[in-house]
């Protein structure tokens, strides 16, 4: 799972996205304004405008309300606020964008992106993104991602990822993943993972994993796994609660409910039913069904039994 996280991050970071143009000098705010400065139609680098505005590259803007059209990438540092529609043949960028933003190269927001953001290559913000973010390659936020998030390769959030998030390679969150989380290869959350969680290779969380959890690989956390979990390879956690369906193994400290696997190892307390070839529990309060069933808290002579073992 570490490889998939590193691969996703490396690909997104190494891809040569168009970057904001360097601007060491003070921006020139010369513009042709019809009928007057501040309102109507503006052609040029006007700092403040309400209406329809056309510019080659935004530099040092303050506030644009209406429709803003640019042909190239914005200057650094990203500045100002765009309220309404931002359309860029290169990159649409500002300190904050509220509304509809589109950029063939991408959409960059220094502080925040709110609304519908569509980037041909990437959507990148040093803050939060809320609403609908759709990118052909990746969606990256240093803060949180909230709403509907789709990256053609994946989505990365430095904070929480909440809503419906889809990444064919994977989803990575330094906070929690909450909602519907669909990662082609892996889902990785530093904190909890809650909702509908699906990935081919694995679900990895630093906190609890809860909801409908499906993977062909491993469902793994130092916390708890709760709900309906389907894992071909393994569930490994402190506690599993609900229905845990594994093909190979369940390896947990405590279980409550139903667990299945070729080898089920409950190394503290099992409450409920386990089904497998080999079932082992240090403390059993329930039933084991399998070829070999081990309940270490049963009286001597009943600790290891074929087919069925029980303790109530």
User: Contact 51/33 with Cβ under 8 angstroms?
Assistant: no
In sequence order, the 6+-apart residues with CB closer than 8 A to the CB of 134 are 117, 118, 119, 123, 148, 150
User: Contact 113/125 with Cβ under 8 angstroms?
Assistant: yes
pLDDT for the residue numbered 234: 97
Instruction: Go through 231-241 and write b for each residue having 16 or more CB atoms within 10 A of its CB, e for each that does not.
Output: bbbbbbbebbb
Collapsing DSSP to helix, strand or coil, 76 comes out as coil
How far apart CA 205 and CA 22 sit, in angstroms, is 39
Could you list the pLDDT tens digit for every one of the 312 residues in the chain? 333 433 444 444 344 444 455 444 678 889 898 987 789 999 999 999 999 999 999 999 999 999 999 999 999 999 999 999 999 999 999 999 999 999 999 999 999 999 999 999 999 999 999 999 999 999 999 999 999 999 999 999 999 999 999 999 999 999 999 999 999 999 999 999 999 999 999 999 999 999 999 999 999 999 999 999 999 999 999 999 999 999 999 999 999 999 999 999 999 999 999 999 999 999 999 999 999 999 999 999 999 999 999 999
User: Contact 69/55 with Cβ under 8 angstroms?
Assistant: yes
User: Contact 194/28 with Cβ under 8 angstroms?
Assistant: no
Joined together, the tokens standing for residue 234 give: 């393994």
pLDDT for the residue numbered 6: 38
Joined together, the tokens standing for residue 252 give: 């947990």
pLDDT for the residue numbered 11: 43
CA 199, 252, 262, 285 dihedral sign is negative
Report the candidate in 75, 42, 72, 43 with the shortest Cα–Cα distance to residue 61: 75
DSSP state of 297: T
pLDDT for the residue numbered 255: 98
Q: Which residue has the tokens 């994993």?
A: 209
pLDDT for the residue numbered 31: 87
Collapsing DSSP to helix, strand or coil, 7 comes out as helix
User: Contact 153/136 with Cβ under 8 angstroms?
Assistant: no
């Amino acid at each position: 799972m570490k490889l998939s996280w590193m691969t996703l991050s490396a690909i997104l970071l190494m891809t040569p996205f168009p970057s904001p143009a360097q601007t060491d000098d003070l921006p020139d705010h010369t513009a042709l304004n019809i009928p007057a400065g501040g309102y109507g139609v503006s052609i040029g680098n006007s700092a403040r405008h309400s209406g329809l505005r056309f510019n080659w590259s935004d530099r040092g803007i303050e506030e644009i309300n209406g429709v803003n059209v640019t042909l190239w990438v914005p200057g650094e540092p990203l500045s100002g606020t765009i309220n309404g529609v931002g359309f860029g043949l290169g990159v649409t960028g500002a300190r904050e964008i509220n509304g509809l933003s589109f950029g063939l190269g991408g959409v960059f927001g220094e502080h925040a992106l709110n609304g519908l953001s569509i980037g041909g290559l990437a959507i990148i913000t040093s803050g939060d993104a809320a609403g609908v973010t759709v990118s052909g390659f990746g969606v990256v936020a240093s803060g949180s991602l909230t709403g509907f998030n789709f990256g053609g390769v994946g989505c990365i959030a430095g904070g929480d990822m909440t809503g419906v998030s889809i990444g064919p390679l994977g989803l990575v969150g330094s906070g929690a993943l909450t909602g519907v989380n669909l990662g082609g290869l892996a889902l990785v959350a530093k904190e909890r993972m809650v909702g509908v969680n699906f990935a081919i290779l694995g679900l990895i969380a630093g906190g609890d994993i809860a909801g409908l959890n499906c993977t062909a690989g491993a469902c793994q956390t130092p916390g708890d796994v709760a709900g309906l979990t389907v894992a071909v390879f393994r569930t490994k956690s402190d506690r599993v609660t609900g229905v845990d369906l594994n093909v190979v193994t369940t390896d947990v400290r405590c279980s409550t409910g139903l667990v299945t696997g070729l080898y089920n190892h409950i190394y503290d307390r099992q409450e409920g039913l386990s089904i497998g070839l080999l079932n082992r529990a240090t403390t059993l309060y329930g039933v084991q069904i399998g070829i070999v069933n081990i309940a270490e808290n049963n009286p001597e002579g009943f600790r290891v039994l074929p087919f069925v073992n029980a303790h109530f």
